[in-house]
Structure 1
Amino acid sequence: IQDIISDNCVVIFSKTTCSYCKMAKKLFENINVNYTAVELDMNTNGSQFQDILEQMTGGRTVPRVFVNGTFVGGATDTQRLHEEGKLLPLIHQCQ
């Protein structure tokens, strides 16, 4: 998991059936930012990934959004960062 986060500017740990996950992905699509989605429900290690994410971030819920190696929160947190003008500067740091 750490390698995925380190190797990609924006990583969304997600599930294909989750509406908040879709919201987070749509946000990045709307601002033309590429992201890497790890669909936990399509991954045989999905629940283990969620255990690790819980240890790293304090929560198991999805989405878990990382920007430039830092956990920024779920969909609502990410949306708030964008509205406050703080999301794009984080993204620009890794380019």
Structure 2
Amino acid sequence: MSIFDYIYWRIVDTISFILNLTGVFSSKRMAVDLSSPKAVFVKDLIKSDKIVIFSKSYCPYCKLAKEVFDKMKEKYTAIELDGRDDGEEIQGILGEITGARTVPRVFIKENCVGGGSDVKTLYEKGDLQKLIAT
């Protein structure tokens, strides 16, 4: 990813965050019942592997997160939301569970560690390896 791509996506993330905070995207927000069958399905996916990444195939931050785990030779389960009919619904559930709808949503041992930049930062500090090992 070039520096220009990185800057572009950081700007897009920031604008999306501000618009979500101000309610501009409120039409996309839906009340999510975390005991619904789909929410239970999402929680089961999170439990299904030590490392679970909810991703979109075209997203550079998703690619960044997966590249970190590939470099570490760590197996992970990737759920590509853009390839699923229920991807938007799953993303809404992840928003309720984690407080953010953005992808990737990376879970290690059922705990959300954030997105692509967060994973890279944890890796560079040596903290990601510790999270996986413990």
SS of 2:79's equivalent in the other structure is strand
Structure 2 length-normalised TM: 0.67
Structure 1 segments unaligned to the other structure (5+ residues): none
Q: Report the Cα offset of residue 91 of structure 1.
A: 1.1
> Where do 4+ consecutive residues of structure 1 move more than 6 Å?
none
> Larger radius of gyration, structure 1 or 2?
2
RMSD (Å), alpha carbons: 0.8
Greater length-normalized contact order (CA 8 Å, ≥ 6 residues apart): 1
What is the rounded CA distance, in whole Å, between the counterparts of 1:84 and 1:56 in structure 2?
26
Q: Hey, which of these two has a bigger chunk of strand by percent?
A: 1
Greater mean alpha carbon deviation, residues 73-82 or residues 83-92 = 83-92
Instruction: Report the equivalent of 1:2.
Output: 43
Q: How many equivalent pairs are there?
A: 93
What is the rounded CA distance, in whole Å, between the counterparts of 1:27 and 1:90 in structure 2?
14
Instruction: Report the equivalent of 2:109.
Output: 68
Structure 1 length-normalised TM: 0.94
Q: Does residue 1:30 correspond to 2:30, yes or no?
A: no
Instruction: Report the equivalent of 1:79.
Output: 120
Q: Percent identity?
A: 46
SS of 1:34's equivalent in the other structure is coil
